[in-house]
Amino acid sequence: MLLAGMLLSVAILVLGGLAAGVLARNCPERAVALAVGANLLAAGIGLVIALLTLLTGASQMTVLPWSVPLGTLALRLDPLSAFFAVPTLLVSGLAALYGRGYLAGKGPSSWLWFNLMVASLVGVLLSADGLLFLLCWEAMSVTSFLLVILEDERAEVRHAGQVYLVATHLGTAFLMVLFLVVSPGAETLAFPRAGTLPPTLAGLAFVLGLVGFGTKAGFVPAHVWLPEAHPAAPSHVSAFLSGVILKSGIYGLLRVVTWAQQPSDWWGWVLVLTGLVSGILGVVFALAQHDLKRLLACHSVENLGIIALGLGLGLLGLSGGSPLAAALGLGGGLLHVWNHAWFKSLLFMGAGALGKATGSLQIEAAGGLLRRMPGTGGAFLVGSAAISGLPPFNGFVSEFLVFMAALELLRSVHPLAGAVGLGGLALISGLAVACFAKVCGVVFLGEPRSPGAEKATETRRAMLVPMLLLAALCLLVGLAAPLVIGVLDAPLGQLAAGADLGPVRASLGWLAALGGLVLLAGLALGHALSRRPSQPGMTWDCGYSRPTARMQYTAASFAGPLTEMFSFVLPFRRHGKPVEGFFPDAAEDHGEVPDPFNQRLYEPIFRGLMRFSLRVRAFQHGEVQLYLLYIVIALIALFIWEAL
Amino acid sequence: MTGTVDFLLVSMVLANLWVLGSSRLPSCIRALAFQGVALGLLPFALYPGHITWDLVMLALVSITLKAVVFPHLLKRALLEARVDPQVEPFVGHGVSLVVGVASLALSVALFRRHPLPIVPPSDLLMPVAVSTLLVGLFVLIARRKALTQALGYLVFENGIQAFGLGVLQHAPLMVELGILLDIFFAVFVMGITIFHIRRAFATLDTMEMAELRG
């Protein structure tokens, strides 16, 4: 019944997309309306079903007839897949609503790809068969690629699309091997039963899954495609890619974990280290970015790192025999999946709205936007506070759970892992606050730095409403934390038997109440201050009588001390003409930070590959006679080999 | 009947060498027709005791196609496309002849060393079939014109059909018919294509067609 409902929602998505594809040319407005309507309807039905599954903990499986070699049409809806279906459908609905306003009639046929992308992701979550999973996975990758290159008249978008396509297929190659290795029989690629894989096989599966799914999730060092592809896409697609599609990697990894008889110690360690490296490097890269969407994409690397850290700590708790640490770590990681989906899609939508209003995504070109765009600015501020892990917003709740897991491990079974996790997460959170202080300060406060920012006006309502809804959700999850963590019980039960989040419920309640009070007090204070008569005036200008907007603090100078502190991982390139002497000439100062992994790891590899391919290309010359000669040589070689 | 079989097989080998050694296209086409006749008569000589209706029909269709229809189509293509009747080989005629003989020697050696699991009706049949096949491939590789590609393909098909005769008891009639139909369409399509390529590019030199690659 529940499964059938979920399939109905997939069918609505697909039909809506196909209808939009057919109608796109002749009546584009109706096509868009149909596709967006299908998204909203599917999201409504699917959300109810997913939440029901989460609350009841029910699990349903069905096998439909399908005559494909190696494959069975095995579908399963269990709490783990339902848990990931919730952000998928919620964000897809809101992103579709936003996208309608954002695209404003451009590219009506892109809605076919959008709906198919959402449907194939739900398909990924429902499949219980390796072949079906891979098919849906590929469909998701290809449709999202088509959306990434929607604005393909720009050269950097084409480049981003290429990088994305290569990265996603490299990841899929590992997944193919994974499913071949774990499938129980020779003629099938069906998923193994939960809790059946013996340790060695499970370890191999974990490593393959970590590489394959980790590429999708954007773990360092497989993250390089992410800051390219996500900013290139239109904003509603970036919101879905960053908020939801990255999580499909986490889902896959967790699915692999459920197959194991007993997760080993080293899995936890590997995930903790991956998470720490991704988290710290992600936020450090973000600090150095000048493009708003690129910066947000780097923060996705950071947040997926936090998720991995939480899951790793949880697995260490599980294998070390501490059910509380397991519940806290895994629960924190899982909850961060949800939370990141809300605030990251909110932030990407906000960035899109800012970009539309000012005509530029460069942070240094903005300024003073909070007064010009109060709705967008307010929602973006809420998202920033949430992603920085500040109470009373949702990001705080999940990071708090991960902190508690680290503390619990420190106290009991794995002191070292606890200490490392605690320190690392503290560093990540601190840097994230610094980074968003930079973004919000430069973009929203001060005076406009460009004519575009000066002329900016509040964004249209179709784009504003989804952002406000997401902002409300961020606050709601933060304030209702003790209730919200109830949805974690069923998926946690699948990952770690006996894990229970009960002990932290009370403290979360106190924290939420405190956060709420502080928020109320802040609002009251703000209200009181706003009623005082005020008048804009000049700041003290050191005696210089003609200040301009260009004299404000810039984003690069704000982040400078921090990026210089991390210069051992960031190859900071700075060039220009310094200020010299008492009466200096015109001076300039530029800086950029190329991704060190791209520069030192991938570029040499791909350059070598290219050189090799060019050499091989000599064989493909278009002369039929020589092609035939190749065949004959192969044939004669076989003859001779057989004759010997 | 061994004498007749050997005579027909030697005719096929001679036709191969004729194709390889001739420098003019009409002459090559005649060699192909000659080989078609020899191949069509071969089943009667091989299975004198089992002349059935379908064998006769098959032979008739085969001779009609290979000795009449295909050469006619090729000649028409030659005339209509106004192709220069020179063969234009990459590999000279002398060397080509050596290759032809070498292919026969290789085939004989191959079947001497590795006899087939089934007993063919004649010792020479399989080596000749394989050598015809190799000569067909060689013509495909070593000649420049699009028309010679069609020619090489037909010689190649003759080799396959001769090989099929050796295992006729084991290969159903349907397969034979399938092969015939297959090459009929191939020639048909090639004839049309050659004509149109000529019209579009004013050349039938395959080297210049290589410019089309992406």
Q: Which of B87, B126, B140, B190 to mutate to test the interface with A (most CBs of A within 10 A)?
A: B140
Q: What is the percent of chain B with per-residue pLDDT over 90, rounded to a whole number?
A: 20
Smallest Cα distance from B142 to chain A, Å:
7
Task: Please tell me chain A's helix, strand, coil percentages from 3-state DSSP, rounded to the nearest 5.
Answer: 75, 5, 20
Confidence of residue B185 (pLDDT cuts 50, 70, 90): low
Smallest Cα distance from B126 to chain A, Å:
15
pLDDT tens-digit readout, A44-68: 999 999 999 999 988 999 988 887 7
Of all residues in chain B, the one with the smallest CA distance to A644 is B113
Q: In terms of Cα–Cα distance, which of A382, A239, A384, A213 is closest to A311?
A: A213
Q: Is the pLDDT of residue B112 over 80?
A: yes
Q: In terms of Cα–Cα distance, which of B188, B207, B197, B212 is closest to B83?
A: B197
Dist CA A36 CA A23 (whole Å):
13
Q: Chain A residues within 8 A (CB-CB) of chain B?
A: 620-626, 628-629, 631-632, 635, 639, 642-643
Q: Is the pTM of this model over 0.90?
A: no
What mean pLDDT comes out for the span A547-566? 82
Smallest Cα distance from B163 to chain A, Å:
16
Confidence of residue A350 (pLDDT cuts 50, 70, 90): very high
pLDDT of residue B197: 64
- Average of per-residue pLDDT values in chain A: 90
Does residue A262 contact residue A198 with C-beta atoms inside 8 Å?
A: no
Q: Do B213 and A620 touch (CB under 8 A)?
A: yes
pLDDT of residue A43: 96
- By Cβ distance, the residue of B113, B137, B206 closest to A624 is B206
**Domain boundaries defined on chain A:** 596-643
Smallest Cα distance from B47 to chain A, Å:
29
- By Cβ distance, the residue of B114, B140, B207 closest to A628 is B140
Q: Is the pLDDT of residue B97 over 70?
A: yes
Q: Which of B134, B139, B141, B213 to mutate to test the interface with A (most CBs of A within 10 A)?
A: B141
Q: Is the pLDDT of residue B118 over 60?
A: yes
Task: Report the range out of A454-463, B42-51, B156-165 with the highest average pLDDT.
Answer: A454-463
Q: Do B207 and A623 touch (CB under 8 A)?
A: yes
What mean pLDDT comes out for the span A548-572? 82
Q: What is the percent of chain A with per-residue pLDDT over 90, rounded to a whole number?
A: 59
> Which amino acid would we find at residue A551?
M
What mean pLDDT comes out for the span A308-320? 93
Distant-in-sequence, close-in-space partners of B198: CB < 8 Å, separation ≥ 6:
B81, B82, B83, B204
Dist CA A343 CA A386 (whole Å):
7
Task: Report the range out of A18-27, A189-198, A206-215, B16-25 with the highest average pLDDT.
Answer: A206-215
Burial class (CB in 10 A: 0-12, 13-18, 19+), A70: middle
What mean pLDDT comes out for the span A134-147? 95
- By Cβ distance, the residue of A628, A642, A643 closest to B137 is A628
Q: Is B212 helix (H, G, I), strand (E, B) or coil?
A: helix
Q: Is the pLDDT of residue A141 over 80?
A: yes
More confident residue, B161 or A544: B161
Q: How many CB pairs under 8 A join A and B?
A: 40
Of all residues in chain B, the one with the smallest CA distance to A625 is B141
pLDDT of residue A282: 93
Q: Is the pLDDT of residue B49 over 80?
A: no
Of all residues in chain A, the one with the smallest CA distance to B214 is A622
Q: Is the pLDDT of residue A351 over 70?
A: yes
pLDDT of residue B176: 66
pLDDT of residue A195: 87
pLDDT tens-digit readout, B157-181: 888 888 887 776 666 665 666 666 6
